[in-house]
Structure formats: C-alpha cells, structure tokens
Structure 1
Amino acid sequence: MTDTNPTLDGVAEDLADLTATVAGFASQLEHNTQTIDRVSAVVTKLGPGQEQDGKGGKKETPQTPPFILLLTGEKCATELAALDGWVRNLLVPTYLGEVSSSATWCARWWEHPAAVARLHAAWLAWQELTDPETCGRTGPAVWHRDHLDPMLNQLRAPDGPFAGCMTNPDRSQHTLLPIPPVDPLPAGTAF
C-alpha cells in the first residue's frame, strides 16, 4: 500500500524555500523603492529640462526642436523665416542645379507641407552635422549622404511634392495637383 500523505520533512523544506524566496523579493523591492526615491529627489531638485553636470551642480539639457508642422503662430513664423534664409542662401544656390520636369523645384516651397517638413529636417541635421563641436570631421559627409541626397531625391522626384508645380521657378504661375479632401487642420495651424 502506498503512503499518500506527504512527509512533514518535505513540507517544512518547501515552506523554508518559499520563505527565502519571498524574503529575497522583499529585499529587492526595498532596494528598488529606495533607488526610485533617490532618483525622484534629484529630478525634483533639478526641475524639468535640467540634469546634473557631474560636479553636483545643474546644467541645462539641450531642448530638441519641435517638428515644424506642429508649430503654430509666432513660433511657426520664426522657424519658417530661419528655414527660408537657409534655403535661399545655401540650399538653392549650392545644391539645386537645373530645374526640369525630372528634377522639379517650387519657388514657393513653403506652400507644400511635405516640402517644409523635409527641408526643416535637413536644415536641423545640417546645423548639427556642420558644427565641429557636435559632428567631428565626418559630419558634413554624413549630412550629404544621410540627409541632403535623400531629401532632394524625394522633393524633386517626378511624383514628389513639387510634381504639380511649374518647372521654371521664375514663372509666376504656380499650380498644385488636386488632393483628396481631408479634415481641416486645428485652428492656428500654419499649414
């Protein structure tokens, strides 16, 4: 006949293992709680947008620029004006060759949200990758390869944002391809 009752030695051993496991979890929880409390105290002390400078003091963390299509009002106008200076003074004279039906450009590029978004992203990357403090010696090459060339290929493609525009940027006529109706943008949106 088989004994179906567990031995007290086996139950006591299982109970001791479970007790040790629970004690380990409790210890880890206490450690994690203390760590979170310390980090929270530092973050509260520093405030948003700041971090320690390694010497116990505060330093400002750089704020990343917002996506230009999300800006409104004065912020959008300021960012667009700065972008316009870069497009007019650097991009167009340096990188845009002959305008043709296979390599379009629109003199009123700011009227095309897809173009504005791509140009803004390329400009932000240009600022970072041409600054010797942030890019090193290869920054400009990286900017050309990873940002400028893909952006221009997309903008100037036969089916890109300027596809419906006249190919001569000096002409006053500007036409856009019709687009399907979409929900209106929120009030105050520049695009």
Structure 2
Amino acid sequence: MSDEPDETPSLNVPVGMFQDIEDIKAELLRLNTLVSTLTGSDGAEPGEAPADDAAAGGEPAEEEAADDEWQYPPFILLLDPPAYDDELRALIEWVEGVLVPGYLAEPSADARWCHLWFEHSVAIARLHAVWLAWQELTDPASCGYTGPSVWHRDHLDPALRELRGSTGPFAGCTKGEHQIEHRMPSTVPSAWSHGDDG
C-alpha cells in the first residue's frame, strides 16, 4: 500500500509566482554572499562555528571579546572622566575642523551659533550624535554611497535647525561689535527645593 494520494491535487498558482520565488531565492543568495563578504565569514552555515574557532576549540579569545565590547563609542553624556574628556576633545576637533568651516555661515538672529558651544550640554549631546552618525555614514563599506546624503537629511539638517533656532541652546548667546559674547542661562528654580523658608 502506497503513502501517496490517489489523485494529485490541482493547484491554481499563477505562473508568474514561480518566477517571483526564483527571484527571491536569487536575491537571498546574493544578500547572504554580501553579508559573508562584509563580516569576513568563511561561508559557514548559520549556527556553525567558523573554521578558526572550531580549530581552537570553539572558544573566542578573551582579547577579541574585550575589543568587540568597545567597537563603537558610547553616547558622550554617559561617559565619565577621563573617557568623557577624550571624547569631547575628539568632538571639538571634528566640529571645529569639519562642521564649522564647511557648514556654518556667519551667525545671525535666525541662525545662532556660540563659539563656546562645548559649554552647552544640549549642543554637546546633539553634535556628538551627529558626529557618530557621520563616522558611520561616510564609510561606503558600511553604508554604500548614499550614506552622506542620508547623514545630511536625517542627522545634520535637523540638528542644526534645533541648535541654531531662536529657541535653541544658543538663544542666550549674542553677537555684538564683532565679538561673540557668551551668556549661559541662569539656574531655573526647582519646584522641589523651597530654599530657606524656615
């Protein structure tokens, strides 16, 4: 007695669907190859250890694990000194060397800028985020050739609108007689502290 059914069921599948499936298979194969190339994988199946790890007993070296932990810099406001100071120095170098000469025109009432921007924590946070995105999106190996366009549209332009707007962190910084005078906003009284009311 056979396990196969007596009749073959009729399937009403459009002919074009088989072509679509073949196209999807080809695209999946292409993407798998691309991922293998970008990650340096040796073509091992998912879930298999690469040949180097298998030869070494399958255990990754502790040094490699430590390096991977700090592969990308954390957000600057989460750092403590001296890591914060080092990251801020690198950010200042990028802002003053790339952003200011390349993207910032003369400050005005509609486009404010403070030459002491690094004293404004909001400016540090926003500019650091823009810088992290710039590092990633200007590398064709990680983002292709559209990365710079995406960086301008999604990161730089919105950040500059927020920073340079009339209600941005530089609203209290004014320009007068060819010098930028810097004024930090005064401390806002907290609803949680009542001072010395006895």
TM-score range, shorter chain: 0.5 to 0.7
Normalising by structure 1, we get a TM-score of 0.62
1:33-48 aligned within 5 A = none
Identity percentage over the alignment?
52
Residues 135/93 of structure 1: CA separation in 2 closer, same or farther (3 Å cut): same
1:1-191 aligned within 5 A = 54-55=50-51, 57=53, 58=60, 60=65, 61=68, 63-167=71-175, 171=179, 173-181=181-189
Partners of 1:106 and 1:162 within 8 A in 2 = yes
The RMSD of aligned alpha carbons is 2.4
Report the CA distance between 1:170 and its aligned residue.
Answer: 5.9
In the alignment, structure 2 segments of 5+ residues that lack a partner are 1-47, 54-59, 191-198
Say which one has the larger Rg: 1
Report the CA distance between 1:66 and its aligned residue.
Answer: 1.5
Report the CA distance between 1:90 and its aligned residue.
Answer: 0.4
Report the CA distance between 1:181 and its aligned residue.
Answer: 4.2
Letter paired with 2:160: L
Tell me the distance in 2 between the aligned counterparts of 1:53 and 1:98.
Answer: 56
Tell me the distance in 2 between the aligned counterparts of 1:55 and 1:152.
Answer: 48
Partners of 1:109 and 1:116 within 8 A in 2 = yes
Report the CA distance between 1:56 and its aligned residue.
Answer: 5.4
Tell me the distance in 1 between the aligned counterparts of 2:127 and 2:166.
Answer: 17
* Structure with bigger RCO (C-alpha 8 Å, 6+ apart): 1
Tell me the distance in 2 between the aligned counterparts of 1:53 and 1:151.
Answer: 43
Give the length in aligned residue pairs: 132
Normalising by structure 2, we get a TM-score of 0.60
Tell me the distance in 2 between the aligned counterparts of 1:131 and 1:169.
Answer: 42
Corresponding position of 2:44: none
SS across alignment from 2:113: coil
Letter paired with 1:78: D
Corresponding position of 1:38: none
Partners of 1:104 and 1:167 within 8 A in 2 = no
In the alignment, structure 1 segments of 5+ residues that lack a partner are 1-51, 183-191
Report the CA distance between 1:172 and its aligned residue.
Answer: 5.3
Letter paired with 2:73: P
